[in-house]
Every structure is written in C-alpha cells, then in structure tokens.
Amino acid sequence: MKSLGVGHDQKVEFTMRQRFKSRMSSVLSGVRIARVSTVPFFVVSQLKNQFQYLVSNGAEVIVVTSRGPELVLLEGLCRITCKPIYIPRHITLWKDLLALLKLFLFFKRNKVDIAHSTTPKAGLLTALAAFIARVPVRLHTFTGQPWVCMHGAKRWIVRACDKLIGVLCTRCYADSNSQREFLISQGVVAADKLAVLGPGSLSGVDVQRFDRNRFSFDQCKSTRAALGIPVDSPIVLFVGRITIDKGVRELLCAFEILKKSSSDAHLVLVGRFDFESGVAGVIRPSDVQGLSDIHVVGHTEVPEIYLSIADILCLPSYREGFGTVVIEAAAMGVPTVGTNIYGLSDAIEDGVTGLLVPPRDVGQLANALSVLLNDEKLRFGMGEAAKRRASELFDSRKINQQLVDEYSRLLQETSVIH
C-alpha cells in the first residue's frame, strides 16, 4: 500500500483550515449593518478596526455619519460603504427632523438588518428612525452621559432622550460595568435590556498596533526632538478632546504645581480644542500659550507615536463611558492617572495599573502625578501590569468576536438568520 506521506497530511490540514475559515467568514453572510455616529472622527478613531472584523465575518457595513475628512480612511475598504447624513451635535429642531427623515428613508430603502448607534444625538435619531422603519435589530452603545455635567431643564431633556433610546432599542450596551450600574440606578435603562460585552470597552485595543516594541530608541528620540523635549525629561501625556469636561483645566493647574516644585517634566496635549461639545465649558489655545514645557500636538491618527515616548497618561475627566485611550496606553506599558468616576474605574485598576483621584481635585491630581514621576520602579511596575491586563482582557480580537456572536444571537432571535 502506498504511503500518503507528509504532503497529503499538509493538504488535508490546509483544506480543513480553509473550510473552518469559510464557516467563520459566513457567520454574518448577507447581513446589512448600519453603524451610526454623529461625527466621523469618532467612527474612524474608535471603530474602523471593528468594522473590518465584521466584514471579515461576512457582513456588509454601512457607516452613517456627518461628512468629514476622516471618511476618506474608510472609503474604498471592501464591503464598507459610507453614507453621509448630517446629524447635528446640538438640538436644532428642523435640522434634527431632516436628519430623522433621511435616516428613516435610508433604513427603509436599504433593508437594514441591524442599526447600531453610538454617541448621544445619533442614538436618539437612530432609535426613532429605526423603530419607525421596523429595523429588526436596533442597538445603541452608551459611551458616557453628557447630562451628568448639565443642570436644570437641559439635563432633564437630555436624560429623557437617553431613556427614550432605551425604550425604542431592541437592546442597549454600556462600554463599562460601572456605567451600566449607573444607568440602571438612574432609571435610564432597565437592567434586563442593558448589557456589557465581555470586560467592557467599545472595541478593545489592537495590541499589535499599540506595541511599544514597534518604536526604536532613535524613533522615540526623534519624536522628542520634534517637540523640543530633552531625551531624559519625563513626559505626561493627555490624549482626547481639549475641553473642560475632560479635566484639562485641572491638568494644567496640577502641572503648574509640578513645575513650581522644580519638576523637569513636560506635558504633551494630543487632541483638538473642542469648542462645541464641551458641556462644562471650553478651553482655548490662548489658555495654554506661554505655559512652560507644555506642547499642543493637535489631532493625530497615530496616537501611538506619542504614547511611545510617554511616562504617564493623564485623563482627569468629569465623565467617561470607559476611556479607550487608557487601554491603548496600557497596551504600550504606560500607566494612567485618572479620575475615580464610572468608566475610568473599570479601565484603571487603582494602585495596580495606575492611580485614581477624585474629579476636579487639583491637589490630589498633582500629588498622584508627582508620586509616579518620582518613583520609577512603581511607574514601571504599573506599566507592566497595565500591559498584561490589556492583553488578557481587552484585545480587540476578543471584543470584536463577542460582538459578532451577539449580532448573530440577536439576528437568530428575530429570525433574520437561521
């Protein structure tokens, strides 16, 4: 009898792998998913990787958001279509009604199977339009509540909009367990209708992209030189919208305290000055100009470049659904000093992967930064712990697969797929 040989075994193994890959890629075959967000910046920076994962599992993804230069980064990707619909960030009755009508017509004409929204205004309009259009699966992910920083009638109205989203959607998600508990305790969404996928976060972190080993010493030295930062000076990094409700005012004050104590640290701010959605108020470039050893980089599509030179990430936010930048920093071995609020208390393990301080407390923020800046062993240990935690819990491949499983389950429940 002729031996089959190693070559045959390899062919069999290859065939089995191909069949397995084929089955996996057809989990959402033919399913049309509309992912809706108010602004394209959020979509591209937070969800691009997830969209590609959905496509790899057979889905057709349609990104619905306002126009913006960021959409270029999605256009041309296989089975990802961009549909620009202007969704105002603030309440403007006629523009909101027009957006609602456009969303309804889009859902109806395109026979969307899943409408999944993020960001507050997109969530409300998508929930209404998808409900009227009878989209089988209507989902929304809460990523933080603007009304937490509001007062009076405006707070009541915006909070009521979140409650309406919870009523109209098939299912809702929070991107952290502490945010879920908050929404339930506030009576915004019923407990049986609000879930968290895995350990939390919106789409996890790409641990291959956010890997400090990708950046050589010379590259890091060059980045520092471009900013005018000496090679041996410690760096505190902020990544996000530069606005008051992100805690930037407290960060600037805390950093001023550090400089008065003769610290040689530098502060790097990565992000846009946000003059529109800062609920608690805005910070302008003039508020930062002239301050010693502070560098404003602006928006970037590659925050990992600046994380590669950072010693500490600081996110002293007033409100945060989870804080994706925290686990991006963690994946690169950078500990975080953040505020002890829902969301960040899930992203940061206090005393292990970083330090938590009360929101709006400049003194404790300055002290926490000083502790980590002056204790290299503690800082390094927290960075290593953060890196392990990010890899074990928040790898985007795990989070995205959990979303695929969730979509598949919901579609089966509504008989869209069998």
Domains of the chain are 30-204+396-413 (3.40.50.2000), 212-393 (3.40.50.2000)
Q: How confident is the prediction along the chain (418 residues), in pLDDT tens digits per residue?
A: 334 444 545 544 444 444 444 444 468 998 999 999 998 887 888 898 899 999 999 999 999 999 888 888 787 777 899 999 999 887 788 999 999 999 999 999 999 999 999 988 999 999 999 999 999 999 999 998 888 878 898 889 999 999 999 999 999 999 999 999 999 999 999 999 999 999 999 999 999 999 999 999 999 999 999 999 999 999 999 999 999 999 999 999 999 999 999 899 999 999 998 877 656 578 888 888 888 899 999 989 899 999 999 999 999 999 888 999 999 999 999 999 999 999 999 999 999 999 999 999 999 999 999 999 999 999 999 999 999 999 999 999 999 999 999 999 999 998 766 4
β-bridge partners, 294: 267
For residue 296 the two structure tokens come to: 């404003």
Query: Phi-psi region for residue 228, left (φ > 0), alpha (ψ -120 to 50) or beta?
Result: left
Q: Give the integer Cα–Cα distance in Å for 164 and 259.
A: 48
pLDDT value for 390: 97
Q: Give the integer Cα–Cα distance in Å for 171 and 137.
A: 8
Q: Give the integer Cα–Cα distance in Å for 224 and 41.
A: 26
What 8-state DSSP symbol labels residue 147? G
CB neighbour class for 115 (10 Å; exposed up to 12, middle 13-18, buried from 19): buried
3-state helix, strand, coil in the chain (%, to 5): 50, 15, 35
For residue 341 the two structure tokens come to: 């609020």
Is residue 35 within 8 Å of 41, Cβ to Cβ? no
CB neighbour class for 400 (10 Å; exposed up to 12, middle 13-18, buried from 19): buried
pLDDT value for 14: 47
Q: In one letter, which amino acid is 270?
A: V
pLDDT value for 278: 57
Q: Give the integer Cα–Cα distance in Å for 21 and 37.
A: 31
How close are the terminal C-alpha atoms of the chain, in Å?
45
pLDDT value for 279: 61
Max CA distance (Å), the chain:
86
Cβ count near 227 (within 10 Å):
14
Q: Give the integer Cα–Cα distance in Å for 38 and 31.
A: 23
CA atoms 393, 395, 397, 403: torsion sign: positive
Is residue 220 within 8 Å of 308, Cβ to Cβ? yes
Residues 6+ apart with CB under 8 A from 272: 241, 242, 298, 299
In the three-class reduction of DSSP (H, G, I as helix; E, B as strand; rest coil), residue 203 is classed as coil
| HEC assignment per residue over 249-315 | HHHHHHHHHHHHCCCCCEEEEECCECCCCCCCCECCHHHHCCCCCEEECCCCCCCHHHHCCCCEEEE
Question: pTM of the predicted model, to two decimals?
Answer: 0.86
pLDDT value for 229: 97
